Structure 1
Amino acid sequence: MMMKPGFTRFNLPYFTNDDEIEYVLNAVQFIATEGWKFLPL
């Protein structure tokens, strides 16, 4: 399997509350640090 580095962009509406923003950022951080473990699946 060939993997290429890349980027993505996501937008949040201005009315998103702080708890939702924190949840999304924690999820992105989790995938960034632990995502490699899911590649063999």
Structure 2
Amino acid sequence: MLLTPESELCEAIHLRNTASKGKQGGRVIPLNKQLKQVLSSY
């Protein structure tokens, strides 16, 4: 997920186990500062 319940950008991408292969495939991927800037401009 990229958005908080308040529709603000998160500091990281939260990939749930159900969206990945296997039972323990979930990850938390930090957002690059430049990527966050670009995404917030949309």
| TM-score range for the pair, normalised by the shorter chain length | 0.3 to 0.5
Task: Pick the structure with more strand per residue.
Answer: 2
TM-score, length basis structure 2: 0.32
Computing the radius of gyration from Cα coordinates, the structure with the larger value is 1
TM-score, length basis structure 1: 0.33
Task: Pick the structure with more helix per residue.
Answer: 1
